[in-house]
Amino acid sequence: MNELQQGQRRREIERQKRASRIPPQFSKASLQTYDTTSGEAKSAEDRAVALARANNWFNAYKQAVVDNERIVLNAEATVPNLAISGLVGTTKSTLAACLLNDALELMRTRLGDDISVRWWGVNDLLHAIGAAIRDDEREDPEPDACAASLLVLDDIGRHRTGAKSEDTFATAHLYDISNARLEAGLPTIITYNGIAELNRALDKSVKSRLIGTATLVETAKDMKDLRTSR
Ligand SMILES: Nc1ncnc2c1ncn2[C@@H]1O[C@H](COP(=O)(O)OP(=O)(O)O)[C@@H](O)[C@H]1O
Ligand SMILES: [Mg+2]
C-alpha cells in the first residue's frame, strides 16, 4: 500500500467509525483492555466473569465470520444475540462497545472495508425513526439497524413508555428490527438493567426475538455503580 492508499484507508476507517455511531467515550474500548483488576475485589471478580462470557460469545462470532468469509452471516452460521444486564454504572455499555469495536476491527482485517456495525441507544433510535417519519429530509435509521452486520441496542427497556401511542410505536419498530435481524441471522447485542424493567417495557413478541435464545451476561451481582463510587 502506498502513502496515498494508506491515507485513503485511514479516512475510510474513520468514516466507518463515525457511521457506526459508537459513542466517543467508548471509541478505544476493546476486550483486550477491559479492566478486571481495579476497584474492589468482588467487583473485579464480577467483571472478570462478565469478560469471560463476552469473550466466549465473541469467539463464536469470530468463528462464524471466518467460516463464512462474509459480513452478513447466513442462517446456518447464526450467532445468538448477546444480552448484557446489570445495574446502572456496572460497565454494560462499555462491554457492548468493546465487542462492537473488536467486531469492526475483525471484519476490517478479514473482509476489507465494506463494514456495517451500528450502535443505537434505544431512546435515540426511536426518536430518530419518529423524526424521519415526520420530516422527509431526515434519513430513516431503521433500514440500517435491520441490516447492520452487528447492532448494539443500548439501554433497552429505558425507552420512554407510559403513553399508549408511544408504546405501540416502540413495539412496532422494535418488532420490525428484531424480526428482520432474526430472519437474516444477524446478531444483536442488547443492554438493559434487569428483567423486571424489560418485562414492563417490551412486548412479549419483541422480548422473545431479542433474548429468547440469547447468551446472557450479567455485569453485576455485587458491583457498585462505578460512575459514582470512585
Ligand atoms: N472495566 C472497567 N473497570 C472499571 N471501571 C469501568 C470499566 N468499564 C467502565 N468503567 C467505568 O464504569 C462506569 C460505568 O460504565 P458504563 O459502561 O457506562 O456502565 P453502564 O452502561 O452499566 O451504566 C464508567 O464511569 C466507566 O468509566
Ligand atoms: Mg450504559
Does some domain include residue 28? no
CB-facing half-sphere around the CA of 150: CA atoms within 13 A:
30
Does some domain include residue 3? no
The residue contributing the CA closest to ligand 1 atom 24 is: 227
Which ligand is closest to the CA of 84, given by its number?
1
CA of 81 to the centre of ligand 1 (A): 21
Domain hosting 203: range is: 39-218
Does some domain include residue 22? no
Say what the pTM is.
Answer: 0.91
Instruction: Look at the chain and report how many structural domains it folds into.
Output: 1
Residue 176 corresponds to which cell in the numbers above? 420490525
The residue contributing the CA closest to ligand 1 atom 3 is: 35
Dihedral of alpha carbons 38, 44, 50, 55, sign: positive
Does some domain include residue 8? no
Does some domain include residue 165? yes
Does some domain include residue 191? yes
CB under 8 Å to 156, separation ≥6 — which residues? 122, 174, 190, 191, 192, 198, 201, 202, 210
CA of 52 to the centre of ligand 1 (A): 16
Does some domain include residue 21? no
Task: Looking at the CA of residue 95, tell me the nearest atom of ligand 1.
Answer: 17
CATH of the domain at 55: 3.40.50.300
Per-residue pLDDT of the chain in tens (230 residues, 90 and over written 9): 788 888 887 787 777 788 899 999 999 999 999 999 887 777 888 899 999 999 999 999 888 876 665 555 554 557 899 999 998 889 999 999 999 999 988 877 765 655 688 999 999 999 999 999 999 999 999 999 999 989 999 999 887 666 788 888 999 999 999 999 998 888 999 999 988 888 888 899 999 999 998 999 998 765 566 666 65
The beta strands (E) that lie in the chain are given as 82-85, 117-121, 150-154, 188-192, 215-218
Give ligand 1 pocket residues (Cβ under 6 A).
Answer: 34-35, 38-39, 47, 86, 88-94, 226-227
Does some domain include residue 86? yes
Spatial distance between the Cα atoms of 117 and 181, rounded to a whole number of angstroms: 13
pLDDT of 160 = 65
pLDDT of 226 = 65
